Amino acid sequence: MRILVISVTRSRKGQPVRAERIVEGEMIRLGRGTQCEIHLPDPRVALFHAAIYRQGDSIFIHAPEAELAVDGGPEREARLTPRVHIALGPYEMTVEPPPSGCDLALAIELVRPLPDDLAEIRAKSRTSLEETALSKRGPAWMLAIVLGIVFLLAPALNAVLPLLRQATVKLPVTPDQSWNPGQLSAGHQAFGRQCGSCHETPFVHVRDHVCIDCHVKTPGHVQTVGLQTKLFGGTRCANCHADHKGADALVRRDPDLCVTCHGDLKYFKADTTLNNATDFAVNHPPFKLTLWKGPNRADVMRVSQTEKSKLVEQSHLKFPHDLHLKTSVRGPKGRKTLECRSCHIPDASGKGFEPISMNKSCLECHTLEFEPAVTTRQVPHGSVDNVMLTMQEFYANIALNNIPVDVVDIGEIQRGLPRLGNGVITEEQRQRALTWAKFKAQQVSADLFEARVCIVCHEVTKAVIRGESGKEIAWGVVPVFVASTWMPKARFDHVKHRTNKCADCHSVEKSHSSADIAIPDIVKCRECHAGNKPAANKVVSTCVACHGFHLPNHPPFTVRGSMALDAPAGAALPVIGKLQ
Taking CB under 6 A as the criterion, which residues in 318-337 touch ligand HEC?
Answer: 318-321, 323-325, 329-331, 336
Please report, as residue ranges, which positions from 222 to 241 form the binding site for ligand HEC (by CB under 6 A): 222, 224, 229, 234-241
Nearest distance, CB of residue 302 and ligand HEC, angstroms: 6
Nearer to ligand HEC, 201 or 272 (CB): 272
Kind of pairing, strands 38-39 and 27-31? parallel
Cα 337 to Cα 331, 351, 511, distances in angstroms: 10, 25, 17
Cα 252 to Cα 410, 542, 559, 568, distances in angstroms: 74, 11, 21, 17
Nearer to ligand HEC, 32 or 316 (CB): 316
Instruction: Kindly tell me which residue out of 76, 205, 377, 430 binds ligand HEC, with binding defined by CB under 6 A.
Output: 205
Nearer to ligand HEC, 31 or 263 (CB): 263
Nearer to ligand HEC, 317 or 437 (CB): 317
Instruction: Kindly tell me which residue out of 60, 267, 439, 486 binds ligand HEC, with binding defined by CB under 6 A.
Output: 486
Binding pattern to ligand HEC, positions 551-570, x when CB under 6 A? x-----x----x------xx
Nearest distance, CB of residue 405 and ligand HEC, angstroms: 22
8 A C-beta contact, residue 459 and residue 477? yes
8 A C-beta contact, residue 25 and residue 13? no
Instruction: Specify the amino acid at residue 419.
Output: R
SS3 for 562?
A: coil
The window from 17-25, 65-73, 107-115, 549-557 that contacts ligand HEC (CB under 6 A) reads 549-557
Please state, in angstroms and rounded to a whole number, the distance separating the CA atoms of residues 482 and 64: 131
Residue 378 DSSP symbol: B
Nearer to ligand HEC, 45 or 176 (CB): 176
Nearest distance, CB of residue 473 and ligand HEC, angstroms: 13
| 212 near ligand HEC, judged by CB under 6 A | yes
The window from 120-128, 311-319, 407-415, 422-430 that contacts ligand HEC (CB under 6 A) reads 311-319
Q: What does the CA dihedral 515, 516, 521, 524 come to, rounded to 10 degrees?
A: -160
Please state, in angstroms and rounded to a whole number, the distance separating the CA atoms of residues 507 and 510: 7
CA 511, 514, 516: angle at the middle one, nearest 5?
Answer: 55
Nearer to ligand HEC, 2 or 209 (CB): 209
Nearest distance, CB of residue 461 and ligand HEC, angstroms: 11
Instruction: Kindly tell me which residue out of 94, 357, 397, 402 binds ligand HEC, with binding defined by CB under 6 A.
Output: 357
> What is the distance, to the nearest Å, from the Cα of residue 73 to the centroid of all Cα atoms in its chain?
94
Please report, as residue ranges, which positions from 454 to 483 form the binding site for ligand HEC (by CB under 6 A): 454, 456-458, 477, 479-480, 482
Nearer to ligand HEC, 62 or 336 (CB): 336
Please state whether the peptide bond connecting residue 255 to the residue before it is cis, i.e. omega within 30 degrees of 0: no
Nearest distance, CB of residue 136 and ligand HEC, angstroms: 33
SS3 for 9?
A: strand
The window from 21-29, 130-138, 340-348, 409-417 that contacts ligand HEC (CB under 6 A) reads 340-348
Kind of pairing, strands 77-79 and 58-62? antiparallel
Instruction: Kindly tell me which residue out of 63, 243, 396, 436 binds ligand HEC, with binding defined by CB under 6 A.
Output: 243
Nearest distance, CB of residue 12 and ligand HEC, angstroms: 48
Nearer to ligand HEC, 197 or 443 (CB): 197
Cα 486 to Cα 290, 492, 518, 527, distances in angstroms: 5, 10, 11, 20
Please report, as residue ranges, which positions from 247 to 266 form the binding site for ligand HEC (by CB under 6 A): 250-251, 255, 257-262, 265
Whole-number CA gyration radius for the chain: 54
Instruction: Kindly tell me which residue out of 157, 164, 343, 407 binds ligand HEC, with binding defined by CB under 6 A.
Output: 343
8 A C-beta contact, residue 224 and residue 235? yes
Query: For ligand HEC, how many residues bind (rule: CB under 6 A)?
Result: 155
Please state, in angstroms and rounded to a whole number, the distance separating the CA atoms of residues 410 and 430: 19
| 169 near ligand HEC, judged by CB under 6 A | no
Please report, as residue ranges, which positions from 122 to 161 form the binding site for ligand HEC (by CB under 6 A): none
Nearer to ligand HEC, 39 or 524 (CB): 524
Please report, as residue ranges, which positions from 173 to 202 form the binding site for ligand HEC (by CB under 6 A): 176-177, 179-181, 184, 187-188, 191-193, 195, 197-199
Please report, as residue ranges, which positions from 423 to 452 form the binding site for ligand HEC (by CB under 6 A): 448
Please report, as residue ranges, which positions from 359 to 378 form the binding site for ligand HEC (by CB under 6 A): 359, 361-362, 364-366, 368
Please report, as residue ranges, which positions from 44 to 103 form the binding site for ligand HEC (by CB under 6 A): none
Nearer to ligand HEC, 378 or 402 (CB): 378
Q: What does the CA dihedral 465, 468, 472, 475 come to, rounded to 10 degrees?
A: -80
Nearer to ligand HEC, 29 or 262 (CB): 262
Nearer to ligand HEC, 145 or 282 (CB): 282
The window from 16-24, 67-75, 112-120, 358-366 that contacts ligand HEC (CB under 6 A) reads 358-366
Please state, in angstroms and rounded to a whole number, the distance separating the CA atoms of residues 259 and 574: 9
Binding pattern to ligand HEC, positions 490-529, x when CB under 6 A? xxxxx-xx--x-xxxxx-x-----x-xxxxx---xx-xxx
Q: Which of 561, 575, 556, 551 is nearest to 232 (CA)?
A: 575
Q: Which of 201, 197, 204, 209 is nearest to 559 (CA)?
A: 209
Please state, in angstroms and rounded to a whole number, the distance separating the CA atoms of residues 397 and 414: 11
Nearer to ligand HEC, 32 or 547 (CB): 547
Residue 109 DSSP symbol: E
Buried b (16+ CB within 10 A) or exposed e, 58-94: ebebebeeeebebeeeeeeebebeeebebbbbbbbbb
Full DSSP string of 137-151: HHHHHHHHHHHHIII
Nearest distance, CB of residue 236 and ligand HEC, angstroms: 6
Q: Which of 579, 580, 533 is nearest to 259 (CA)?
A: 579
Nearer to ligand HEC, 8 or 576 (CB): 576
